[in-house]
Structure 1
Amino acid sequence: MTAELFQRDRVWQPPAYTPNYKSSVNRSPNLAPLSLEMTQSELTAPRFGHDVIDPIDCDLIRNYAKTGDPIGERIIVHGRVLDENGRPVPHTLVEVWQANAGGRYRHKNDTYFAPIDPNFGGCGRVLSDAEGRYMFRTIKPGAYPFRNWINSWRPAHIHISVFGPAFAQRLITQMYFEGDPLIPKCAIINAIPDQRAIDGLVAALDLNETIPLDTIAYKFDIVLRGQRSTFFENRPEGN
């Protein structure tokens, strides 16, 4: 199928060197990047099997619970995986990981004072359907401090990883929540120069998909490439 080609918007992605985001000072390259062709193995393998996805994998409220439900605000995150022309991208592996309601990850290097929730693992995965739709049920993550400046905090967010047919074909982004007052104060988010790109990382409250008296919903579409693609942090040169 042929379609029009969208030129890359050079101001859409943030510069690698952004001094207000302190980690970028050491991580940004000092020399121009080199372009290397992908090998056949990178394009085709290793592959994942659709049969290894369990239906409970997309339910972060239940997939790690030991003695009861995790603590926090119950939410649904749903949307579609789309290409630059708005066409659905079916059968795409979407993975998520996040902090718990107190803002702490289940990771040995996370030393934030918030407690670990014994019933929340903080990760899940799902395959988009034939129309590119995906859905997770989870607990809304909490904000947490990070060592940028003396009083720097990350807004509530969920990490999202999108895979192509092979594990080497991977894009990573973060999803934020509509109305969070920490979004305009975050040095990482402010490294993105275009407000429209920032807006594309913010999930909209979706009362139509909310389950009354149970679970509130947010809608977040993932656009894989093109002039208005979702910002992917591991592909800042363009998608």
Structure 2
Amino acid sequence: MLPTGPKPGEYYQRDRDMQPPAYTPIYKTSVLRSPKNALLSIDQSLSELTGPMFNHNELGPLDNDMISNYAQDGEPIGQRIIVHGRVLDENGNGVPNTLVEAWQANAGGRYRHKKDVYLAPIDPNFGGCGRCLSDDNGYYFFRTIKPGPYPWRNYVNSWRPAHIHLSVFGPSFSQRLITQMYFEGDPLIDICPIVKTIPDAEAIKRLIAPLDMNNSIPMDTRAYKFDIVLRGRRSTLFENRLEGN
């Protein structure tokens, strides 16, 4: 039997005014990576309007606890924090059952990666990777250690602000998002060449997680709140009524 409900509407086009240009010489690696020709606009296909499905059976009990999920003989060194928020679409609706993956440097600013040669030590009890699923209202959270800043070779004495990388799967591939979350009050944000490629000041603010003392655990863990907004669907007509929002 064929479905009788409305077909899902296509996703909104990305607002290019908020996105960093591909070619931004202050971020030196963009010079070679950026496309040389104009971007093409194509219709969204069925494969882009649908996507992967996840369930809680695919996750382990410590997947969202980076304080514990790699610990060998103690806890990792650093400031214990909770990162939490909601995965939303552009219409303000929570996006349930979406996979949120996180990876980061340790408290000293060192990644557990063979190509990271920064002189800060590896923490034997910290892996720096985690994942969780948003609940029915789009809410997600994980525990971790606040990452440290680290130097990089963009220009002399360049330092990246403390940040956590996030990969988010929505219900479709058109919603796939990879982003970075920064921390309120970090002075390195304003001078970071990667952050400065973003032309919209309000878009930069949305990448900065404010301190959330109401959800901090006394004598234990501070909290930071970070909402993630994925692309929303346009309305579709079904029996002369707007549906889909």
TM-score of the superposition, structure 1-length normalised? 0.86
Q: Which has the larger radius of gyration?
A: 2
Aligned-pair identity in percent equals 69
Q: 2 CA distance for matches of 1:133 and 1:221?
A: 9
Which residue number corresponds to residue 23 of structure 1? Answer: 29
Which residue number corresponds to residue 150 of structure 1? Answer: 156
The answer on whether the counterparts of 2:20 and 2:199 sit within 8 Å (CA) in structure 1 is yes
Runs (5+) with no aligned partner, structure 1: 227-239
Which residue number corresponds to residue 99 of structure 2? Answer: 93
What CA deviation, in whole Å up to 9, does each residue of 1:138-190 have, x standing for no partner? 00000001110011100000000001347796310000000000000100000
SS at match of 2:144: strand
- The two structures, once aligned, show a CA RMSD in angstroms of 2.4
SS at match of 1:197: helix
Q: 2 CA distance for matches of 1:214 and 1:113?
A: 29
- Report matched runs for 1:190-229 at 5 Å: 190-225=196-231
The answer on whether the counterparts of 2:84 and 2:140 sit within 8 Å (CA) in structure 1 is yes
- Whether 1:175 aligns to 2:157 is no
Runs (5+) with no aligned partner, structure 2: 1-5, 233-245
SS at match of 1:184: helix
**Aligned-residue offset at 1:22:** 0.5
The answer on whether the counterparts of 1:178 and 1:204 sit within 8 Å (CA) in structure 2 is yes
Which residue number corresponds to residue 132 of structure 1? Answer: 138
Aligned length: 225
Cα gap change, 1:168 to 1:125, in 2 (>3 Å): farther
SS at match of 1:135: strand
Which residue number corresponds to residue 126 of structure 2? Answer: 120
Paired amino acid for 1:156 = A
The answer on whether the counterparts of 2:195 and 2:204 sit within 8 Å (CA) in structure 1 is yes
Q: 1 CA distance for matches of 2:173 and 2:129?
A: 17
The answer on whether the counterparts of 2:51 and 2:170 sit within 8 Å (CA) in structure 1 is no
SS at match of 1:64: coil
TM-score of the superposition, structure 2-length normalised? 0.84
The answer on whether the counterparts of 1:48 and 1:166 sit within 8 Å (CA) in structure 2 is no
Which residue number corresponds to residue 233 of structure 1? Answer: none
Which residue number corresponds to residue 83 of structure 1? Answer: 89
Which residue number corresponds to residue 235 of structure 2? Answer: none
